[in-house]
Structure 1
Amino acid sequence: MKHVLLCLTLFIGVFSWSQKTAKISVEMRNPYPDQDKAYLIFNGKVGEKVKQKVVDSCDIKNGLFSFEVEVDELSEFIVNTGDEYFAVYMQKGDDITTKVNTKMFDETLSFTGTGAERNNMNMTVYLISERYSLLIQSAIANCYDHPEDTTNVFKAVNAYDSLFAAYIDDELQFYPELEAAWKNKVAQQKNASKYYLGSIEETAKLRALEKNSIGKEFKNFSGINLNGDRISLKDFYGKPIILDFWATWCGPCKAEFPGLRELEEKYGEKINIVSVGVWCKEDDWRKMAIKEEFKLNIYLTKEESEGLQSEYMLNSIPRYVMLDKTGKVININAVRPSLGLEDLIKKHYL
């Protein structure tokens, strides 16, 4: 009798534990050669703030691995294999099997077992969201060539956002437990659209400014050189001028330095290529300017650069400006050295 009671107790204990946990098993076809470790990341209960905590890890053997985690309410987890990752929503009692082909990861991801239905639907929502994003980006990319005509693209983007929101509202009738997660996805989509549309408006303004600035004298500015002397833009009149606005923390700026040095070596006798440090500390600018060995340097404080920001939309760097020998504008937004600045030099200066 004691043995019966002991077995019954053990059975109840194991059964109770299994009811408190969720399990996910993953089968990957064509795993990457270096794909040998998987991680389970807890993102938080649905509707709560994302926490991003690694709760388990395991070895991947022949594309197979699994996790079992204690969970109460429906929660979001991220399964990360290093090269790829996916979200899965699990609650106690779930036992999910996931199959995927790494050659087409998102498109082949599928779920079976207890808890699978909500995750298959969530994957469908994710793929539709990705498709809407691509449509929006495509519409916006086409608009960059003609930013003055933004009416149609604004209508298209707003239509895409409305369709996606309506689709989510419809599906929530069947998956109300995912309302917080999906509503957040709708909000993210709208914020992305707002960003892209704002980018188009800025591009339209900059294109108009580029056109209207041609032939006009560029606003004079002054700062200090490496000797600490005050100098101004007008000190470089007499030769054509290229201004390179950069900062010490700007990776893309520094990536263009080698190309700019080559242009200085080839055309420095005929053109004043002026390195203009902005939006950084003077000591940091001085160290980097000395290291890079540019011949002509100016440093502008935040206050000294504000007038250029407002007048020429100098809101991002690197930025290249081409002027003639009297300081009149040829191009206030020239391409980078890596994208063909030398071609513009040959066209306008040689």
Structure 2
Amino acid sequence: MRAGSPSPSFNAPDINGKMVSLESLKGKYVYIDVWATWCGPCRGELPHMLRLEEQYAGKDIHFVSLSCDSNKTTWEQRIKKGDMKGIQLCIGPNSDFMAKYLIKGIPRFILLDREGKIIKANAPRPSNPNITKLFDELLKK
């Protein structure tokens, strides 16, 4: 997946059952977190993601978490704890989105432009200070 290429799409229900697609998010940057409830490193990034979401609240960025959990009930229970923000979707472990990005390990972070094109197919994690520099540069445009 090269920078400037259109991103593969996704279409999945959020915690309330509302379908969300990549196309519905166009117009803002999209920072995607591919994760799972059973993944220790994924859970380790959650506090950093929350800080990012708070720091960039009201800015031109959608924060989207795509869970690859196979047990949707476990995912729902985790989301209902209420300590996660952003757009929470469950795409399951065998999604086309993950296959097209060749995702073999998680967490994986992806950054897309306002048109759904890839900026970074392997973006910095929320715990990496370079992500705020990248966001700040993009938001100046």
TM-score exceeds 0.5:
yes
Secondary structure of residue in 2 paired with 1:260: helix
The answer on whether the counterparts of 2:110 and 2:121 sit within 8 Å (CA) in structure 1 is: yes
Which residue of 1 is the match for residue 139 of structure 2? Answer: 349
Corresponding residue of 1:313: 102
Give, in whole Å, the separation in 2 of the partners of 1:256 and 1:220.
24
Structure 1 counterpart of 2:67, one-letter code = G
Within 1, Cα distance between the matches of 2:91 and 2:98? Answer: 12
Partner residue in 2 for 1:262: 51
Q: CA deviation at 1:348?
A: 2.5
Work out which of the two has the higher radius of gyration on C-alpha atoms and give 1 or 2. Answer: 1
> The residue matched to 2:17 in structure 1 has which SS?
coil
Render the CA deviation track for 1:82-127: whole Å, top value 9, x for unaligned: xxxxxxxxxxxxxxxxxxxxxxxxxxxxxxxxxxxxxxxxxxxxxx
2:20 is paired with a residue whose SS is: strand
Question: Are 1:295 and 2:86 counterparts?
Answer: yes
Matched-pair identity in %: 33
Residue ranges of structure 2 left out of the alignment (5+ in a row): none
User: Which residue number corresponds to residue 76 of structure 2?
Assistant: 286
Deviation string, structure 1 residues 26-63 (Cα, Å, up to 9, x no partner): xxxxxxxxxxxxxxxxxxxxxxxxxxxxxxxxxxxxxx
1:135-214 matched pairs, under 5 angstroms: 209=1, 213-214=2-3
Q: Which runs of 5+ in 1 are unaligned?
A: 1-208
Tell me the CA shift for residue 280 of structure 1: 3.3
Q: What CA deviation, in whole Å up to 9, does each residue of 1:149-186 have, x standing for no partner?
A: xxxxxxxxxxxxxxxxxxxxxxxxxxxxxxxxxxxxxx
In the superposition, the TM-score normalised over structure 2's length comes to 0.89
Offset at residue 321 of structure 1 (A): 0.5
Q: Is the 8 A contact 1:275 1:294 kept in 2?
A: no
CA RMSD of aligned residues (A): 1.5
Q: How many aligned residue pairs are there?
A: 137
Q: CA deviation at 1:290?
A: 2.4
Q: Does 1:332 align with 2:138?
A: no
Q: What TM-score, normalized to structure 1? A: 0.38
Deviation at 1:216, TM superposition (A): 1.1
Displacement of 1:309 in angstroms is: 2.9
Question: Using the alignment, how far apart are the partners of 1:274 and 1:249 within structure 2?
Answer: 18
Q: Distance in 1 between matches of 2:42 and 2:71?
A: 16
Q: Distance in 2 between matches of 1:280 and 1:257?
A: 19
User: Aligned with 1:256: secondary structure?
Assistant: helix
Separation in 1 of the partners of 2:139 and 2:102?
25
Q: Which of 17, 25, 29 matches 1:240?
A: 29
Which one has the bigger helix percentage? 1
Q: For the Cα contact (< 8 Å) 1:223–1:230, is it kept in 2?
A: yes
| CA deviation vs aligned residue, 1:273-328 (integer Å, no higher than 9, x gap) | 1111113311111111222331311111234x1x2233211111111100111101
Inter-partner Cα distance in structure 1 for 2:75 and 2:69? 9
Of 67, 71, 74, which aligns to 1:277? 67
